Structure 1
Amino acid sequence: MSVHDHHPRTQSLSTESRLDADPDPPPHPSSTPVPSADILEGSPHGILIASAREGGTALYANARLEEMFRTPVPMEPGGLAAASQALFDRNGEAMEFAESPLGVALLQRRPARAEVQYRVPGQEPLTLDITASPLDCAHRADQVAVVYLHDISHQHHAAGALDEANRRLAQQLEDITWVHALTERLTDHDSVDETLSRVLSEGARLLQADMGVARLLNEELRTMETRATYGIEPSARAEELISSVGDKGELVDAAARAGGWLVYEDVLTDPAAAGALRELGRETGFRSVYLLALRSASGRKLGALAWAFRRPGRPTSRQRQLATTYCRFAGQIVENNRLYERERRIASTLQQSMLAQELPHIEGVQIAACSLPGAQGMQAGGDWYDVLALPDGKAGLALGDVMGKGLRAATAMGQMRTALRSYALVEGEDPVAVLTDLNALTADMELTDLATVLYMTVDPAQRRATVASAGHCPPLLVDHAGAAFVRAGQGVPMGVMDEWQAEAGEVELPQGALLVLYTDGLVERRGEELGTGLERLRQAALSAPAEVGELCGHLVEQCLDEGANPDDVAILALRMG
């Protein structure tokens, strides 16, 4: 009801104005009669008595109603019907007077209750719980009803605030879940560049960015290096400009001083945008930039991530908060990946330095070897080989695989190779004795929990080999009869038992025979049975080139998936003259 028209409000119910008064009411037996108006005026709720005359006319309104509406209730004939223009239902739709609780009580003569919004321009809206009931007044010609109005605006606002808090909490939980899922996917990438590429693409999707650049600080050169880009057409000029923007890390420092991020809403007009950044925007087509400092878990400066947009503007606060959280986790993963890469380089260098750099020349045989680092994983493995020139023109061939990755595996590999060479030079005629001594040393020095080793001696004059294997892949022999795996001389891996033992195996090597020793990286594929990989190797060996120096490349091409090896691979091959 609109109550802008100020009319005198009925202040009390006199004897003449009471709706169904008895002209001679009996006296109360023991007390003074209480005036009806005093009871209504003392009510904490708004009370309105109205008739259906001229569509809705107020007969009585208590003081609480005036307090609610902050203006007198219109008492003129038809005033209530006119005021109904300010009524709306809980859905915010306009409510006709006939649909309101008062209208239903007056016109349909039945009780009604509803939650109603009362909106008047320039005033705070009210939310009212309205209950109306028809009154039976025999002496009146028009219909009458009484209405109770309870102001529930505060409860409504509190419920709305609770709903909003729940909505925000749900949004925060959704955001946390989203960031967690993105971070989990980041751990699938082992290299720094792959991780940064993923961060740029996922960040672009979050920020609705068109381009992105990830740059890391080279601590040795004290310069910034571009490690990944997103959405930028490659060109020499673009690369030159990217390299020149904050090449000493000034933008990272500026972002750190500003709280971790910077925004250039329009690089063409922002005076803080350096000339190179402005020119880069013209070159690649962006107008605004959002930059985040990338830091390690300890807060050490790593570099910066920047996203660019073709239109001027800035990300929303929620987008910035999510990007900041995501990149905080990404910084930790990038730092770990950098440490892994550094360890891999050290381990790989150590591993390669411990392998035989030159193979000895042994009369009557051709020998070739190769070692390939894994294409996946951040750490070098423990695959190794060695060739020894033994007395009486014999050759000693050794191949091993130390369980594990990284410096520990590379160190154990070097120690085992050195030890085996020493034992072989002393008792090289007996491969079983060599591996028995090696197993004892492995256990005594706790070099590794598990390692596989194969050692054999080859006598070119007798065209015969003696082999012993500590759980290693069986050698492959290719001769005039075909290609077959040598299963002789098998024992358990190193480090499994204190006392290692096996029966040495004897292998005949006819003229032109090819003997292939290899580690499991050549034959194993994820989700595939080992037998399938062994058969693939056997078929590849049957078509091997006659020149043993070309053998390794042939086997790698035929046995590895598109030439990529997920694990380290070592191959040692010998062809009889």
Structure 2
Amino acid sequence: MLDISSRERVHVETLPATPDDMGVCDAFEQFVPVGKPDAMNAPHPPKVAGIDSTVPAPAHTVASVATGTSPIAPANPQTAPGALLQDRLAGWVSDLTTLHELTERLARTSSLDEALQELLRAGAALVGARRGLVVLEPADGRGPDTMIGLGLARADLGHIETIPRSAVPYGRILDGLPGTDDGIAVPDLLAEKGLDPRHREVAARLGYAASYTLPLTPDEAAADADAAQAAETTRRLGAAVWLYDEPAEPSERQRHLIGLYARYAAEHLARLLELERARASMATMSEELLPSRLPRIPGVQLAARHRTSPYGGGDWYDALPLPDAALGLAVGSVTGAGPSAVAAMGRLRASLRAYAVMEGEDPVAVLSDLELLLRLTEPARSATALFGYCEPALCRITLAGAGHSPPLLLGERRTEFVETSVSAPLGMLACWEAPSVEIHAEPGETVLLYTDGLLHRTGDPTDRAFARLHAAAAGVPQALRRDPGAIADHILRTVLPEGRETTDSTEDVVLLAARFE
């Protein structure tokens, strides 16, 4: 309890009643006791970050003042000011603690969908709602555009989307109409005059009677009001809506808290949005550098699966027709990640195609030429590669590998890794060369070529990862063994369970399956 000197007159009732009150830390200065030691008369502490002095006092603070016996002064002038300050400070600390916990949880999200869900959950807790939705529609038109709901099924969101855009608050916010910058509260939806009939019908169907909508706009300083308005319109990411089951609206204090949280959330979403766009661009670039379709060669069926790393990896595959009804099969991986690795992958794959056309019947010569090119043009980079000269009529593949994992042969009577010669990756030695091996398959058997990313994404040690891959291949159901695409899908699902196929790994995953008929 603060000790307030009786010689100092205090008007306590003015603290919570004034809209622009001084705030907690300024109040400390006014209530400094007279005649105390210098330590107590020191300058008041700096304001706590995040406290806005214009925010009205919490409801319980106002109530505590109202309990006094006199409308002018509290019952005990010696202790009431200290109790008021403690109560006010407790309210601020509670609010800051809540915001800190919610923003910490939001900051731990690493994907756009996860962040949007967390935004809805936190916002519902702050405004006292049970359901909500967020509409992501960046004003720059670059997307992605999406709608995510909390407590709303996909069909419910579909009903909401049938409401005319101009009849819903989030539509007016997204269109940048005047008066929507601070949010829109609809405390009693069904009592609104001029409510769109479709909006009334959807609200009755879904069972909500009120809503509160906020824009999602990252902060950006502007020189004047017009520039600020233009910047806000161009940077707006979307809008968040919370739905009440009964007529209601958030209090002034709830609006302030959700406003602080929404501004932080918009900054976080803007960063994740840029990351999502960069990942999409990297995935598009990688896919464009790989074959758009696989060739059709009599006697063999082909299927490929490629999972691009969000950071842009350098794994590739290829299948190209060669003279004499032969087929060239290749998989490989360039070290590194990002745009430079993707570009290097494209150059290496294009070079391999040229060497395969010229001397594909000799896989060792193909990789030797590729190694020389890599060493001369990109001396700071290395790569692993596996190239096979496939003769479908003979069910035979002649393979040469450079530091790459061995192929997997699976059929009705056997599932085994192919024995290949031990060799270093391309670019690691002054002169690369290793003997080739031949694979003799039976009709109906499938040869599976893959990159190391398939093993690394399991998170297991190398020996366990190989065992997992072998078990997945051996366990392919008989009904799927006639389709190389189904075989590849089954292996991906088995080797990379629990979402590891889409995890944020730095490793690409490539599977190339060739089934002999």
Same fold by TM-score greater than 0.5: yes
CA distance in 2, matches of 1:548, 1:416: 32
Q: Residue 124 in 1 paired to residue 45 in 2?
A: no
> CA offset at residue 473 of structure 1?
2.3
Q: Residue 199 in 1 paired to residue 104 in 2?
A: no
8 Å Cα contact 2:138-2:236 kept in structure 1 = no
Aligned to 1:163: 86
CA deviation string 1:29-52 (max 9, x = no partner): xxxxxxxxxxxxxxxx99xxxxxx
Aligned to 2:216: 294
Aligned to 2:514: 574
> CA offset at residue 169 of structure 1?
4.8
2:137 alignment partner, SS class: strand
CA distance in 2, matches of 1:172, 1:161: 17
Aligned to 1:557: 490
- 1:305 is matched with which residue: 240, 246, 249? 240
CA distance in 1, matches of 2:271, 2:241: 21
Mean Cα displacement is larger for which, 259-268 or 240-249? 240-249
Mean Cα displacement is larger for which, 197-206 or 351-360? 351-360
Q: Residue 477 in 1 paired to residue 409 in 2?
A: yes
- 1:330 is matched with which residue: 259, 265, 277? 265
8 Å Cα contact 1:267-1:277 kept in structure 2 = no
The verdict on how the C-alpha distance between 1:325 and 1:500 changes in structure 2, with shifts beyond 3 A counting, is farther
CA distance in 1, matches of 2:284, 2:265: 28
> CA offset at residue 231 of structure 1?
2.3
Aligned to 2:434: 503
CA distance in 1, matches of 2:196, 2:293: 55
CA distance in 2, matches of 1:448, 1:404: 11
1:504 alignment partner, SS class: coil
> How many pairs were matched up?
431
> CA offset at residue 250 of structure 1?
2.0
Aligned to 1:5: none
CA distance in 2, matches of 1:411, 1:222: 24
Aligned to 1:421: 353
Aligned to 1:136: none
CA distance in 2, matches of 1:563, 1:174: 34
8 Å Cα contact 1:366-1:548 kept in structure 2 = no
Aligned to 1:282: 204
8 Å Cα contact 1:343-1:407 kept in structure 2 = no
- 1:399 is matched with which residue: 331, 340, 345? 331
> CA offset at residue 276 of structure 1?
5.3
2:132 alignment partner, SS class: strand
Aligned to 2:17: none
1:202 partner letter: A
8 Å Cα contact 2:185-2:249 kept in structure 1 = yes
8 Å Cα contact 2:450-2:509 kept in structure 1 = yes
The verdict on how the C-alpha distance between 1:312 and 1:560 changes in structure 2, with shifts beyond 3 A counting, is same
The verdict on how the C-alpha distance between 1:462 and 1:280 changes in structure 2, with shifts beyond 3 A counting, is closer
Unaligned runs of 5+ in 1: 1-44, 47-63, 68-118, 128-151
CA distance in 2, matches of 1:163, 1:409: 59
CA distance in 2, matches of 1:358, 1:202: 45
> CA offset at residue 384 of structure 1?
2.2
The verdict on how the C-alpha distance between 1:239 and 1:254 changes in structure 2, with shifts beyond 3 A counting, is closer
Between structure 1 and structure 2, the one with the greater Rg is: 1
**Normalised TM-score (structure 2):** 0.68
8 Å Cα contact 1:223-1:249 kept in structure 2 = no
Aligned to 2:135: 215
The verdict on how the C-alpha distance between 1:439 and 1:260 changes in structure 2, with shifts beyond 3 A counting, is farther
**Normalised TM-score (structure 1):** 0.62
2:237 alignment partner, SS class: strand
> CA offset at residue 174 of structure 1?
0.9
CA distance in 1, matches of 2:482, 2:344: 29
CA distance in 2, matches of 1:345, 1:442: 28
Unaligned runs of 5+ in 2: 10-67, 221-231
Q: 1:12-31, aligned counterparts within 5 Å? A: none
Q: RMSD of the alignment, in Å?
A: 4.3
1:177 partner letter: H
Which structure has more relative contact order (CA 8 Å, sep 6+)? It is 2
The verdict on how the C-alpha distance between 1:385 and 1:167 changes in structure 2, with shifts beyond 3 A counting, is same
8 Å Cα contact 1:536-1:559 kept in structure 2 = no
The verdict on how the C-alpha distance between 1:266 and 1:413 changes in structure 2, with shifts beyond 3 A counting, is same
> CA offset at residue 292 of structure 1?
0.7
Mean Cα displacement is larger for which, 533-542 or 258-267? 533-542
> CA offset at residue 203 of structure 1?
1.8
CA distance in 2, matches of 1:226, 1:245: 19
- Please state which structure has a larger fraction of its residues in strand: 1
The verdict on how the C-alpha distance between 1:222 and 1:373 changes in structure 2, with shifts beyond 3 A counting, is closer
Aligned to 2:386: 454
Aligned to 1:366: 300
1:557 partner letter: H
The verdict on how the C-alpha distance between 1:355 and 1:478 changes in structure 2, with shifts beyond 3 A counting, is same
> CA offset at residue 326 of structure 1?
2.8
8 Å Cα contact 1:383-1:569 kept in structure 2 = yes
CA distance in 1, matches of 2:285, 2:481: 27
The verdict on how the C-alpha distance between 1:539 and 1:252 changes in structure 2, with shifts beyond 3 A counting, is closer
Q: 1:201-280, aligned counterparts within 5 Å? A: 201-217=121-137, 227-232=147-152, 234-235=155-156, 237-241=159-163, 245-246=167-168, 249-252=171-174, 257=179, 259-271=181-193, 277-280=199-202
Percent identity over paired residues: 30
CA distance in 2, matches of 1:331, 1:445: 44
CA distance in 2, matches of 1:275, 1:447: 69
CA distance in 2, matches of 1:479, 1:381: 31
> CA offset at residue 350 of structure 1?
3.6
Aligned to 1:138: none
CA distance in 2, matches of 1:158, 1:273: 49
CA distance in 2, matches of 1:381, 1:359: 21
Aligned to 1:320: 255
1:200 alignment partner, SS class: helix
